[in-house]
Structure 1
Amino acid sequence: MDFNDLRNNCAIEQKKGIHFILASIIIWGLIAIIHLTDLPISTKNLYTFISTSLLVPLSYVISRVINVRFSNKENPFNNLGFVLTMNQMLYLLIAMWVYAAAPEKLVMVLAIIFGAHLLPFGWLYKSISYRMAAVIIPIVALIVGLIYEAYILAIIMIFIEVLFSISLALELKGNTATEKEEKAI
């Protein structure tokens, strides 16, 4: 396989990472619930961090349900996707600082980090949905996060993630149709 074939294979077999996006809807739901409670902000933020740790297990379960190959060791682009995800871990150091310095803004910073980390997946999966989400999410998170409570931002993130998932599903449907046409030729 050549470069583009490997990239296309990664996007198709991984279904453009939709299982991770679906898992993030659940996580943003948990974050909304956490921030609707009367718990102290430090406790809410601790539970928020804990809820983000559910991403990989949830996405694995969802991948099984929607029939996505979770990992393909033969395709080097699968490893690139992992590296692009791990890149986000370095940015969590900023979130840890916010946890202490401006705890009421932690959810905003997490949303900005989450959105911004999507940009390279736009290239990897040849996805306009990822590129748009990577720009829209940080801007919306900044505006909403500066004006409203954290739970409002989390609810808006759920809405954005649902729209993002629908957009990815439509892209995947389009890719499947294109793939069938190419095989027919």
Structure 2
Amino acid sequence: MNQDVSHLNFEKLRTELSAEAGKGYPMFIAGIIFWLLMGVGGLFVPHQIMVWIYLFGIGLVLPLGILVSKVVHVNFLATHNPLSTIGGLVGGIQIFFAPLIILIAYQQPDWIPFVVGVLTGAHFLPYVAIYRSKGYIFQTVATVLAASVIGFGWMDQAYSLIPFSLIIVYSITLFWLMKEAKVVKKEWTIAEKDISIRM
């Protein structure tokens, strides 16, 4: 894809980022892996240990997402695009929730799956605008709703129920974003060919 984006307007920047970064779908593969490990761990590992696995494990999701993007040949970072910087800042918000999560880990460890689920779900909302994606609306609402319903109704089973419910949400989001990315990549490829023909 064209690396010089200085001449592009917002819509073109968004379209190029969506096509090049696959609308961020590699992060959902990483998220599914994270929640699968948390779910299996929640069934077999004592919750006192799982709290700390959550705290350290959540920090590995971004590097895992970058690794996945390399495997599936998606330029997830797309650093030449200014909107990618905004996306990085949105993702980076999570690190500032660390004091809250650590406090909850010490005071209410049973709440950790609920808190991590809600925070991760909520932080994806700005990607609705960055990628112009209805998939992110679904992901945010469904993740927060699923984590909240289980958190309020079955908090004692949160370590097993929340991860597996979020695997379902993340899987639906993954396929939704892959479908959106395929369409936008096709449109972007046609637009690039059209520009090169005119030149």
Give the structure-1-normalised TM-score.
0.91
Trace 1:60-99 onto structure 2 (pairs within 5 A): 60-99=66-105
CA distance in 2, matches of 1:99, 1:79: 31
CA distance in 2, matches of 1:37, 1:31: 10
- The aligned residue for residue 36 of structure 2 is 29
CA distance in 2, matches of 1:160, 1:166: 10
Say whether residues 1:155 and 2:164 are aligned partners.
Answer: yes
- Gaps (5+ residues) in structure 2? 1-7, 195-199
Query: Following TM superposition, by how much is the alpha carbon of 1:103 offset from its aligned partner in structure 2, in angstroms?
Result: 0.9
CA distance in 1, matches of 2:48, 2:37: 16
Give the structure-2-normalised TM-score.
0.85
3-state SS in 1 of match to 2:149? helix
Cα 1:43/1:5, change in 2 over 3 Å: same
- Gaps (5+ residues) in structure 1? none
Cα 1:60/1:184, change in 2 over 3 Å: closer
- The aligned residue for residue 16 of structure 1 is 23
Query: Following TM superposition, by how much is the alpha carbon of 1:42 offset from its aligned partner in structure 2, in angstroms?
Result: 2.4
Which of 94, 113, 122 is the equivalent residue of 1:107?
113
- The aligned residue for residue 3 of structure 1 is 10
CA distance in 2, matches of 1:14, 1:177: 13
- The aligned residue for residue 4 of structure 2 is none
- CA deviation vs aligned residue, 1:125-183 (integer Å, no higher than 9, x gap): 00000022112211111001222312111011111111110111111122234335545
- CA deviation vs aligned residue, 1:15-36 (integer Å, no higher than 9, x gap): 1111111100000011112211
CA distance in 2, matches of 1:146, 1:175: 39
CA distance in 1, matches of 2:70, 2:80: 19
Cα 1:46/1:158, change in 2 over 3 Å: same
CA contact (8 A) 2:90 2:123 kept: yes
Aligned residues: 184
Cα 1:183/1:74, change in 2 over 3 Å: closer
CA contact (8 A) 2:17 2:84 kept: yes
Q: Runs ≥4 in structure 1, deviation > 6 angstroms? A: none
Cα 1:96/1:136, change in 2 over 3 Å: same
CA distance in 1, matches of 2:150, 2:105: 18
- The aligned residue for residue 172 of structure 1 is 181
Query: Following TM superposition, by how much is the alpha carbon of 1:45 offset from its aligned partner in structure 2, in angstroms?
Result: 0.4
* Letter in structure 2 aligned against 1:154: P
